Amino acid sequence: MDDNRGETGYSALLWRDLTHLRDGYKAAPYPTKEARLQRLDRLEQLIRNNETALIDAMSQDFGCRSKTESVLAEIVSSLGTINYAKRNLAKWMRKRGRRTSFWSLPAKVYAKAQPLGVVGIMAPWNYSLDLCISPLASAFAAGNRAMICMSPETPELFKTLSTLLHTAFDASELKVYLGGDELSPAFASLPFDHLLFTGSSRVGKLVAKAAAENLTPVTLELGGKSPAIVAPDFDVKEAAKRISWGKTFNAGQTCAAPDYVMVPKSAEGDFADAALAKFTQSFHSIDDEDLTALVSERFYRRLEAMVSEAEQHGAVVLRPKGYEPSEKNGVFKMPLTVVLNPPRDGALMREEIFGPVLPVLTYEDFADVPAYINQQERPLSLYCFSNDRRTVDLLQDTTVSGQFGLNETLLQYVQEDLAFGGVGNSGSGAYHGQAGFDTFSHIKSVFEQRGLGHLTGLQLLHPPYGRITKLLMKLIKS
């Protein structure tokens, strides 16, 4: 690795830490299963023993973060990832048998997962704990050291989590930083052995460009406009309940949240009514402590501007009666906001919404649905609500998305054995479960010549080439 001569400020700090971590990796390039499990154990105990402090820190960052949602989406998800890795680590570390070519027998071939070295993790603000811990668990399981860059939108969680991590792990194992306008670009520019970024497509392009200077392999977990499709055969009111939950969990600040809905034209009103009714059943007022706030005023103002633009261009904006957007004492809350017939060229239909605003589009012919989806950038998730197998297969086979959810939203993310990742504009690469272990490993292909292998017919392919060589080549091609 090149040194950091000429680097100053954050770059110099990051280079020093990277060098220290890489030295640690060189001293133990292939940690034993026991060493990896010991790191995962420390990570698990850190979460279990400090759950309350971590939840409180997240609530401070948001102004109001539902404790139940924090437990479900951050604590349970993180622990699930860690424990799944612990249970399956021995299997993942085994040599993976491969078929040996007949003409190479008695040789043996297999693949072996090898630690990459030092992994970089850039975590966003919306699920900052889980999106630090889950990839870190995969990196540790794969035998790596790691550097984490946390979002500047979550300073309280950074204070708490970084202190805990730096206490539990040596500086040759892990380092954690608070990102910002200067540190984050410097972090992305480091020559990691792998870099995972979770965030917007816009920033993801900048991260990929910075990483390309070092040919650093990247996994990009982005977002985009994930559609939810209600087919004619499905109970539209039941679909509305499930979509409303997915859209308001964490105030819609979820990369895999349903971004817009497509429903039969005749069912538009019923869908809107049922979605808003579900919201009022879930939250007794805008001040309900289980209604998570938007993370900052900037995001709140952006959503209000998007809704206002749509309304000015003829869209119908619906909110539950008695639930108005609130900005009390620096806490910014917004109820589920259903927008009927938004302009297709407006911000609501161009940009990922990332909030509790739900545009509703209608169709008369279901064949128009996949055609519309395929005109857009490929989404992170696509949700289909249908009990008709032909309809489901049509959407699965004719559209491309990172994940496909049938008759439910969000829950594909928490399946430990299901790879999570985007495609096209919604990302590249994947992790979770063995996919995470493999992402942070080099799957090395190995050929072992054995026994009397030196006497096999392949020796006849060595020069000088003659009639026997030609005969052998003819047999191999047959």
Closest-CA residue to 358 (of 296, 455, 273): 273
The most distant pair of C-alpha atoms in the chain lies apart, rounded to whole Å, by 91
Q: How far apart are CA 326 and CA 247, in angstroms?
A: 18
**How many Cα atoms occupy the beta-carbon half-sphere of 438 within 13 Å?**
18
Q: How far apart are CA 379 and CA 389, in angstroms?
A: 22
Closest-CA residue to 283 (of 233, 336, 236): 336
Q: How far apart are CA 101 and CA 108, in angstroms?
A: 9
For residue 349, the Cα-to-chain-centroid distance in whole angstroms is 22
Choosing from 74, 153, 221, 268, which is the catalytic residue? 221
Collapsing DSSP states into helix, strand and coil, what is residue 449? Answer: coil
Q: Which residues, other chains included, contact 211 with Cβ-Cβ below 8 Å and sequence gap of 6+?
A: 188, 189, 192, 195, 217, 218
Query: Is residue 7 among the annotated active site residues?
Result: no
Collapsing DSSP states into helix, strand and coil, what is residue 94? Answer: coil
**How many Cα atoms occupy the beta-carbon half-sphere of 418 within 13 Å?**
11
Q: Where would I find the beta strands (DSSP E) of 192-258? A: 194-198, 218-221, 227-230
Amino acid at 100: T
Look at the alpha carbons of 91, 92, 95, 96 in this order and tell me if their dihedral is positive or negative.
Answer: positive
Query: Is residue 64 among the annotated active site residues?
Result: no
Collapsing DSSP states into helix, strand and coil, what is residue 268? Answer: helix
Choosing from 255, 268, 384, 416, which is the catalytic residue? 255
Q: How far apart are CA 351 and CA 225, in angstroms?
A: 7
Catalytic residues: 221, 255
